């Protein structure tokens, strides 16, 4: 079967690798296994942009709609120089699992443009965003596929995109995109949603295993929106944040950082070392002996080069796909628990769902209602996985999360008549 999969260019090889052992050991049929081997739709295109110099450059772009079994596609759009088809395909697959796991009525999708946005002026960034929407608009819709922010995109970019879509359609359709500015139908609480959802997941897991957030030592790799917000939240809950990092440096303070002061001194996500903390490398941060390690940067930060040196006993995956598949097996051998990304960072898609609901009903929620609904649903998702683990008498949270997600997707596919 593996040889046949490799011959099919549409198959997501990493997705199949991730699911292979799980599906084959739980009596899934070959028909069910093949259903998840490849995305439903892949759109590969180029985005032309007029640069400030007057030159027109074209950038490679992708949108992968992996599954629509449980509802319209849902997933972010990233601007990054290393975006490529296989990465987007894998991330769309993970989004499908994530939406199923936290039980929101979406499928999974992802998009990206191969570009370094740091090299663009603000005008070029806006023209790129609008051009992306002009190219992709025939393939998306509020009941088809709903983009959102991702790496190097934000509410401002989503605002440009939803405005461009309105120009094309001749009417404003706020539900076409989530993560928008509040003035364009965005949801309160969306900015901190991913971090807050992760904090709820961590607290619930610790409570179920007889531990607490208060007093726990934490190292956080990545100090962007997610890393900075989860540092603030966990600090407020009594955790000791002993290490943080951005793309340039990592800082270590054995006594724990004053997170509000660190945030106040940060410049656009760049850490300032006015505190006199010890400067260490990102690899040193990842291998610190702490209670909780939180990778909140980019993919594959725990890999063959550092996995054998990991000393924590608990990893909370706030980044997408931060642990390579090969490293996963080593972490399991070392009895290191991984709370997987499809659970840990699902707060973002949860509040995106809330935003979509608000756009559909034209009834906008208070931030207190957003937080309350987020906590209820994230706690329920953790408990579902933990309950299944306890029933099995063994708990690999990633495997159990994948299994629960896949069963829900297959159930929807069967209900649609796509499976015999």
Are the beta carbons of 341 and 163 closer than 8 angstroms? no
Spatial CA neighbour of 315 closest among 335, 287, 292, 345: 292
Residue 168 CA to residue 135 CA, distance in Å, equals 11
Q: What six digits make up the tokens of 121?
A: 């002026």
- Note whether 252 and 276 are within 8 A (CB): no
Other Cβ atoms within 10 Å of 394 Cβ, number: 9
**How far is 91 from 104, CA to CA, in rounded Å?**
17
Asked if residues 65 and 141 have their Cβ atoms less than 8 Å apart, the reply is no
Of 8, 2, 79, 6, the closest CA to residue 42 belongs to: 8
Radius of gyration of the chain (CA): 21
Residue 191: CB atoms within 10 Å: 19
* Three-class DSSP category at 302: strand
Indicate the pairing of strand 41-50 with strand 56-67: antiparallel
Annotated active-site residue 304? The verdict is: no
- Residue 116: its H or E element: none
For residues 298 and 286, give the distance between their C-alpha atoms in angstroms, rounded to a whole number.
13
Q: Judging by beta carbons within 10 Å of its beta carbon (0-12, 13-18, 19+), is residue 295 exposed, middle or buried?
A: buried
Residue of 110, 180, 240, 399 with catalytic role: 110
In contact, 126 and 156? CB cutoff 8 Å: no
Residue numbers annotated as active site: 110
């Amino acid at each position: 079967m593996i040889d046949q999969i490799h011959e099919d260019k549409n198959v997501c090889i990493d997705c199949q690798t991730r699911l292979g052992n799980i599906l084959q050991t739980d009596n899934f049929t070959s028909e069910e296994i093949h259903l998840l081997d490849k995305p439903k739709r892949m759109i590969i295109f180029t985005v032309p942009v007029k640069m400030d110099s007057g030159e027109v450059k074209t950038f490679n772009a992708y949108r992968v709609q992996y599954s629509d079994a449980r509802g319209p596609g849902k997933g972010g759009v990233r601007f990054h120089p290393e975006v490529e088809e296989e990465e987007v395909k894998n991330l769309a697959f993970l989004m499908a699992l994530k939406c199923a796991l936290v039980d929101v009525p979406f499928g999974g999708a992802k998009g990206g443009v191969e570009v370094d946005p740091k090299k663009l002026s603000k005008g070029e960034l806006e023209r790129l965003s609008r051009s992306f929407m002009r190219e992709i608009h025939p393939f998306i819709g509020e009941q088809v596929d709903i983009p959102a922010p991702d790496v190097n995109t934000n509410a401002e970019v989503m605002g440009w995109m939803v405005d461009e879509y309105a120009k094309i359609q001749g009417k404003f359709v706020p539900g076409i995109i989530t993560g928008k500015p509040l003035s364009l139908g965005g949801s309160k609480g969306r900015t901190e949603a991913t971090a807050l959802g992760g904090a709820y997941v961590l607290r619930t897991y610790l409570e179920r295993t007889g531990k607490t957030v208060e007093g726990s030592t934490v190292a956080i790799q990545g100090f962007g929106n997610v890393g900075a917000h989860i540092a603030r939240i966990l600090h407020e809950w009594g955790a000791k944040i002993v290490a943080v990092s951005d793309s340039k440096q990592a800082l270590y303070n054995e006594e724990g950082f004053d997170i509000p002061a660190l945030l106040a001194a940060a410049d656009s996500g760049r850490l300032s070392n006015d505190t006199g903390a010890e400067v260490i490398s990102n690899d040193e941060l990842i291998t610190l002996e702490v209670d909780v390690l939180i990778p909140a940067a980019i993919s594959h930060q725990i890999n063959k080069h550092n996995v054998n040196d990991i000393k924590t006993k608990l990893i909370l995956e706030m980044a997408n796909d931060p642990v390579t598949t090969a490293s996963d097996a080593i972490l399991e051998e070392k009895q290191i628990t991984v709370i997987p990304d499809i659970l840990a960072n699902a707060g973002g898609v949860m509040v995106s769902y809330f935003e979509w609901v608000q756009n559909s009903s034209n009834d906008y929620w208070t931030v207190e209602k957003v937080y309350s609904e987020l906590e209820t649903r994230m706690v329920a998702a953790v408990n579902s996985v933990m309950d299944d683990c306890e029933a099995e008498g063994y708990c690999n949270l990633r495997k159990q999360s994948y299994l629960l997600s896949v069963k829900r997707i297959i159930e929807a596919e069967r209900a649609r008549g796509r499976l015999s």
